[in-house]
Amino acid sequence: MHRVLRIGHRGAAGHAPENTLAAIEKGIAFGVDFVEIDMRRTADGALVVLHDETVNRTTNGTGLVAQLSLADLKKLDAGNGEHIPTLEDVLKVIARRAGLMLELKVKGTAQQAVEVVREAGFRNPIIYASFLHEELSHVRAVDPGASLMVLFGRVPNDAVSSALAHGPSHIGLRHDTATRRLVEDFHRAGLLVFVYTADSPGDIQHAVSLGVDGVISNFPERIMNQ
Ligand code: G3P
Ligand code: CA
C-alpha cells in the first residue's frame, strides 16, 4: 500500500495561529511531508503569507492586504505575538526540513513567487497550488519543471480535462467532494490527488480509504497510514 503524504494546513493551524512561523514549526515537528501556506501581495509588492483578503480575522489590525505595506503588516499581531511572515521568512524556516505547498491566492504573483523561491535556493519539493488555474500556467511559463496543483472547490463535470489543460502533477479536492471514482479518474490521467481540509479522524480515514495520495489537515499528526 502506498504511503499517504501528510500536509500541514496553514502550517498546522490546529496547534498555533494559522500561516505563522509557529504553526509551520509545529507542522515540521509533526514530521509533515509538506507545509501548506497561503500567499498574497502587499501594496508595496512583498509576498506575504496570509489566507484572507483582509487582515481582520487573523490579526489585531484591519484592512486589505493589497492596500497595506509590508511595514504595516509586520506591526500586527497574528496571534500569540506571532507576525505575518513573508514568503522568504517561510522558505528560510523550512530550509531542508519539509516540502512546501504554496497556494497562490491572487492573480499576477506567479513569476515573483518563482523568483523568490529561486533566490532563496529552496531545494526541497515545492508544489505551486491555486484555485486560479491560469496562475498555474504562469508558473509553468517561468519554471517549466514546476510541480503544479489544480485546486477545485466544486468539481466540474470535465474536471480531468480542464485540469490537464494546465499541466499539473497534482489535484487538490475538497475532502467532501472526493469519491473513489474521481480519484481513480485522476490517477488514470497520471495525477496525484490530495484532499483538503480533513481534520476529524473519520474524515481523514475516509479520504485514505478512497486511495488519495495526500491529506491536508490542520491536525497533520492525525494522518495515519494503515
Ligand atoms: O490546500 C488547499 C486549501 O488550503 C484550500 O482552501 O481556503 O484553506 O486555502 P483554503
Ligand atoms: Ca490554502
Q: How many angstroms separate the alpha carbon of residue 126 from the centre of ligand 2?
A: 14
The β-bridge relationship of strands 34-41 and 47-49 is antiparallel
Q: How many angstroms separate the alpha carbon of residue 209 from the centre of ligand 2?
A: 23
Distance CA 58, CA 138 (A): 29
Ligand 1 contact, 82 CB (< 6 A): no
Ligand 1 contact, 172 CB (< 6 A): yes
Helices (H) and strands (E) counted in the chain, each on its own, are: 8, 9
pLDDT of residue 225: 74
Ligand 1 contact, 18 CB (< 6 A): no
Please give the average per-residue pLDDT across 58-79, as a whole number: 98
Q: What is the pTM of this model?
A: 0.98
**Looking at beta carbons, which pairs linking 42-47 to residues 24 or more positions away fall under 8 Å?**
42/66, 42/68, 42/69, 42/70, 42/72, 42/73, 43/67, 43/68, 43/69, 44/69, 44/70, 45/112, 46/70, 46/86, 47/86, 47/87, 47/88, 47/109, 47/112, 47/113, 47/116
Task: Tell me the pLDDT tens digit for each residue of 124-160.
Answer: 999 999 999 999 999 999 999 999 999 999 999 999 9
Task: Tell me the pLDDT tens digit for each residue of 177-202.
Answer: 999 999 999 999 999 999 999 999 99
Which residue, judged by its Cα, is nearest atom 1 of ligand 1?
Answer: 196
Class of domain 5-222: alpha beta
Domain boundaries defined on the chain: 5-222
Report the residue among 51, 105, 193 best suited for mutation to probe ligand 1: largest number of ligand atoms under 8 A from its CB: 51
- In the block, cell 497574528 appears at 78
Return the C-alpha cell found at 130: 491555486
Angle at Cα 115 formed by Cα 112 and Cα 119, nearest 5°? 140
